[in-house]
Structures are given as structure tokens and as C-alpha cells.
């Protein structure tokens, strides 16, 4: 018997040390995220492990699983609590120790293990923890599995079993690094700033980039789970500006920034200008579709419209499908369509063969970017970027909105724009040309300017992105149009950043 988890317990009490606490909202659409000690305790993590082991058996999968943890002060203890639950459920656990998330995905293939549970809060601020899970490589859980996992854990509907065992795989990172670097060296000598924001990728990224032939300028690669400089998130302008300064100081060819768990890569060009990940995706799609006829790509609804309108991609016969934002959704859709690659604006890139194994790995993305530059002759990163048709794009902007209310708010925003289109109402002074409602609402008006509102899948926030192929002012007009609708809902708070 194991007690049913409580929704809330007070730290530093008998109950907190004697009962599991699991807040229901921590079960997100495709992974799990909680504020540790405020929304989940170690017994709650143990319950999660028992629930995951139970679900794996229910799915008919072999109860064998890879575990790893990111570099935060509490991640190791959380992983061991999770492992204790997995063992109680009868799982054979393969622990690879401190790791970036894609190293755990790689281990599923390298060790021939079907399931994964990676303890990471990814790019979330300190205080957050979470688990990325899967039972069918290279895929991770989607809403169906997460909903069932939530039911099992919150109802303590565990099936404990015998046969659990534990194996630690010593020096596993060396196998991962060898796999990434088993390729011809770059012909072109590239000077590359490698930034990790003191997160987990700092232990591995410089070695990998040096091994493929780059001259590496390390930036904040020392592991420090207090994140003293900035949060390791290559979508945040603070990290991008630090990379910019290093690129200009060292006259580097490119700056590459990795997020807290190493599955994303941000890019700054040789002039110090950041290239948002969706534009990097267009550049990679151009490069890859020149090598592979009739290449198919998947991109998320936050991404630039250039994937459809770019004349080079059209000429090379590339086709693109827009899909739901979220690493699990994108991974699954890229896998289902057997697309060459999937690109998400947040920087999660999914390369199928011959480049990758279908999962998101910031280092695979970094290598693909360097190989693209290697094939570009004497063209610089800014040359490649400037060859794209000009658009004005915002960063990802996130106004606060509680987990309990954010989906309801987005439903109302979707209905607002559906009604506006039906009535012929104008948005930012123009008629609506197209609505995409596969994930929130993406509103495109007559001149091709568009704005997106959706619910964040892993934080108590909404997500707003705008772009215009016409002018910066039209981009700002679209932001005002989208924001004015959000401001009619008092539950929507302040933005983390704005244009």
C-alpha cells in the first residue's frame, strides 16, 4: 500500500515528511514540471516513479528504463526518489548519471532500452523540476499517456512487482560523445562561441565541437546550478546578448547557445545578431533540401511563414507542414510523416536519418549548422541569413496566466478570432486571410502578417509570437491587435519580455 498523494502539504511539518504531495497541474501535455517542495515532495516523486512503472506495464512495454539527471542542486535526489518508485514497480533501471536530455534518448538506442525518464526542468528557473518520459523510442509521451499517468499517480493505483533492478553505466558520456563525433572533420576552420549558461551542456558541448574541427571559445560552460549569469535558455535575450558580445570580441564565425538540458541550440551570427530558431530552421531546410530531393519538413505554429513562401525551398521541391508546438508533438509528427526534419521556434530540432535518430539534440543541431557553413564556401552566417526574404519577427513572449485558467482563456481567444473572421472584421486594419487553430490560434491577415496566441505546455503562461513580411511597424501592429484581445481577460498578467 502507498498513500494517495495530497494536492498540498506544508514543508517542515510531519505530514510533509510522511505523505506524498503531487499537485495535479504538474502533469503537462507531454512532460511533467513542478516547483520542487512547493508542488511536489520526494515521496511524490517516488509515487511518480511507481506510476510510470505501472503505466509502462499497462502499455505492454518491457519494464526497462534509462534514467539521468540535469545539473541542478536537487536533481540527483529527485532522480533517486524516482528510481525507488520504478524499482518498486518492477522496472530494470539503467542510470547514466549526470546527462543532457538527448544523452538519455541516445542511451535508449545504445543500450537497447525501450523507455526513458530524464529528470530535468529544462530551461525553467531554479526551483523547478520535472521529468521527460517515453516508452517507444524515439518518441516521448503525449497527452494520452500523461493523462493516464496522472490518473494512476493521483489515485495511487499502483501495481508493484518484483524483478526491479538497478545498473549504473559508468563513463556513459564518452559513448555519447563518440557517437556524435564519428564523422569527417570540417574542412573549413570555424571559430565558434559555445555558451551553456552554466547548465549541463557545458560539460559536453565544448568537447564535441572541438572534436568535429571547430576552434571553441567557451562561454559560461563551468557547471554551476545557481545559474549566476542568466538562465540557460537560448530564447532569452539576456543569454543571446552575452553570446553576441563574445562573438564580437573574438571575431567568431558563429555563436551557439545551449539550454539547461541540452536539447536546444540558439544561434548568433558573425555580426553578433541573433537568428531566431525558426529562421535557422529555414536555413537548414534550404541546405538539406539541396541535398535531398522532395524533402519534407514539419514546423510548429510559432514558426515563420517563410517555410511556405521561400522561393529557394519552393524551387528545391521542399514541402512543409505546420503542427502543434511542443517537443513531443513535433517529434511524433516528424516521425509519423517520415519527414527529413522538424523545426520548432523554441529551438527543438528533430532530424531523422541520415542526420539523426528522430529526437531533439542541441548538439546534433549545432553540428548540422557547422556542416551547413562548411558547405557554404566562403559565405558567412550573416550572408546566409541575409539571403532569406526579409521578415520582422518577435521573440517568444509569455504573459503570466495560471495553469488552472490558461486553456480556458485561449479557448475564448480562439472563439473571438473565429467570430471576427465570420463577421469580416478587421485585425490590425486588415481582413483575416487564414486561421490555424491546431494549437491555440494563428491569425494571418491579407499582407501575410500574423500573430499567435497559445497556452504554454510547461509553465503558467500564455505564448505570443508575431511576424510580418512587410515592416517592423506591421509586426508591432499585429502585437497590439493580439495583446488588445488578451487585455480583455484580467487573468492574463505581465509579459516576461516584449518587442
Say whether pLDDT at 185 is over 90: yes
Burial (CB < 10 A; 0-12, 13-18, 19+), residue 290, is middle
Predicted pLDDT of residue 162: 87
Which residue in 330, 335, 265, 277 sits closest to 304, CA to CA?
Answer: 277
Mean pLDDT of 347-376: 97
Say whether pLDDT at 236 is over 90: no
Residues 6+ apart with CB under 8 A from 332: 139, 142
> How far apart are alpha carbons 453 and 41 in whole angstroms?
33
Predicted pLDDT of residue 326: 87
Which residue in 228, 208, 26 sits closest to 130, CA to CA?
Answer: 26
pLDDT band at 458 (very low <50, low <70, confident <90, very high): confident
**What does the DSSP 8-state code read for residue 60?**
T
Predicted pLDDT of residue 143: 93
Predicted pLDDT of residue 147: 97
| Cell matching residue 74 | 536537487
Q: To which residue does cell 503558467 refer?
A: 460
Rg of the chain (C-alpha set): 22
> How far apart are alpha carbons 230 and 465 in whole angstroms?
22
Over residues 309-326, the pLDDT tens digits come to: 899 999 999 999 999 998
Mean pLDDT of 370-396: 96
Q: Which residues pair with 450 in a beta bridge?
A: 444, 467
Burial (CB < 10 A; 0-12, 13-18, 19+), residue 311, is exposed
Predicted pLDDT of residue 124: 84
pLDDT band at 58 (very low <50, low <70, confident <90, very high): very high
Predicted pLDDT of residue 20: 98
Whether residue 449 contacts residue 474, with contact meaning beta carbons closer than 8 Å, is answered with: yes
Mean pLDDT of 352-370: 97
Please give the model's pTM, rounded to 2 decimal places: 0.90
Say whether pLDDT at 16 is over 80: yes
What are the DSSP calls for 355-368, one per residue? T-SSSB-HHHHHHH
Say whether pLDDT at 374 is over 90: yes
> How far apart are alpha carbons 449 and 468 in whole angstroms?
4
Say whether pLDDT at 467 is over 90: yes
17 backbone φψ class: left, alpha, beta (φ>0; ψ -120 to 50): alpha
Q: To which residue does cell 478587421 refer?
A: 426
Predicted pLDDT of residue 346: 87
Predicted pLDDT of residue 390: 94
Amino acid at each position: 500500500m502507498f498513500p494517495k498523494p495530497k494536492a498540498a502539504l506544508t514543508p517542515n511539518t510531519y505530514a510533509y515528511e510522511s505523505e506524498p504531495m503531487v499537485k495535479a497541474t504538474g502533469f503537462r501535455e507531454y512532460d511533467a514540471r513542478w516547483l520542487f517542495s512547493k508542488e511536489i515532495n520526494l515521496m511524490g516523486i517516488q509515487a511518480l516513479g511507481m506510476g510510470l512503472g505501472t503505466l509502462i506495464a499497462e502499455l505492454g512495454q518491457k519494464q526497462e528504463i534509462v534514467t539521468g539527471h540535469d545539473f541542478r542542486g536537487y536533481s540527483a535526489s529527485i532522480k533517486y526518489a524516482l528510481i525507488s518508485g520504478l524499482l518498486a514497480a518492477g522496472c530494470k533501471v539503467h542510470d547514466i548519471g549526470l546527462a543532457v536530455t538527448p544523452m538519455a534518448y541516445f542511451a535508449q538506442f545504445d543500450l537497447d532500452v525501450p523507455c526513458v525518464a530524464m529528470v530535468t526542468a529544462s530551461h525553467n528557473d531554479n526551483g523547478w523540476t520535472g521529468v521527460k518520459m517515453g516508452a517507444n523510442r524515439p518518441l516521448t509521451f503525449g497527452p494520452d499517456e500523461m493523462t493516464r499517468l496522472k490518473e494512476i499517480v493521483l489515485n495511487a493505483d499502483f501495481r508493484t512487482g518484483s524483478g526491479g533492478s538497478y545498473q549504473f553505466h559508468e563513463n556513459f558520456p564518452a559513448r555519447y560523445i563518440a557517437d556524435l563525433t564519428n564523422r569527417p572533420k570540417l574542412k573549413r576552420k570555424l571559430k565558434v562561441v559555445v555558451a551553456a549558461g552554466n547548465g549541463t551542456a557545458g560539460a559536453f558541448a565544448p568537447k564535441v565541437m572541438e572534436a568535429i574541427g571547430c576552434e571553441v571559445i567557451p562561454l559560461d560552460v563551468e557547471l554551476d546550478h545557481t545559474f549566476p549569469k542568466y538562465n540557460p535558455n537560448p530564447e532569452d535575450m539576456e543569454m543571446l546578448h552575452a553570446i553576441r558580445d563574445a562573438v564580437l570580441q573574438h571575431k567568431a564565425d558563429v555563436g551557439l547557445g545551449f539550454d539547461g538540458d541540452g536539447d536546444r541550440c540558439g544561434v548568433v551570427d558573425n555580426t553578433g545578431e541573433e537568428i531566431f530558431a525558426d529562421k535557422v530552421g529555414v536555413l537548414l531546410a534550404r541546405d538539406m533540401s539541396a541535398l535531398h530531393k522532395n524533402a519534407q519538413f514539419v514546423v510548429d505554429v510559432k514558426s515563420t511563414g517563410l517555410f511556405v513562401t521561400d522561393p529557394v525551398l519552393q524551387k528545391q521541391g521542399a514541402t512543409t507542414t505546420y503542427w502543434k508546438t511542443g517537443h513531443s508533438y513535433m517529434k511524433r509528427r516528424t516521425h509519423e510523416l517520415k519527414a527529413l526534419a522538424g523545426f520548432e521556434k523554441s529551438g527543438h530540432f528533430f532530424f531523422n536519418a541520415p542526420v539523426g535518430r528522430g529526437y531533439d539534440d542541441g548538439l546534433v543541431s549545432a553540428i548540422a549548422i557547422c556542416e551547413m557553413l562548411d558547405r557554404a564556401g566562403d559565405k558567412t552566417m550573416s550572408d546566409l541569413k541575409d539571403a532569406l526574404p526579409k521578415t520582422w519577427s518577435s521573440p517568444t513572449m509569455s504573459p503570466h496566466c495560471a495553469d488552472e485558467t490558461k486553456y480556458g482563456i485561449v479557448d475564448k481567444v480562439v472563439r473571438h478570432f473565429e467570430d471576427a473572421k465570420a463577421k469580416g472584421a478587421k485585425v490590425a486594419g486588415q481582413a483575416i486571410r487564414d486561421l490555424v487553430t491546431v494549437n491555440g490560434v494563428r491569425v494571418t491577415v491579407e499582407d501575410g502578417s500574423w500573430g499567435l496566441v497559445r497556452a504554454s505546455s510547461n509553465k503558467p503562461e500564455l505564448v505570443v509570437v508575431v511576424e510580418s513580411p512587410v515592416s517592423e511597424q506591421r509586426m508591432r501592429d499585429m502585437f497590439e491587435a493580439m495583446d488588445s484581445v488578451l487585455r480583455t481577460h484580467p487573468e492574463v498578467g505581465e509579459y516576461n519580455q516584449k518587442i
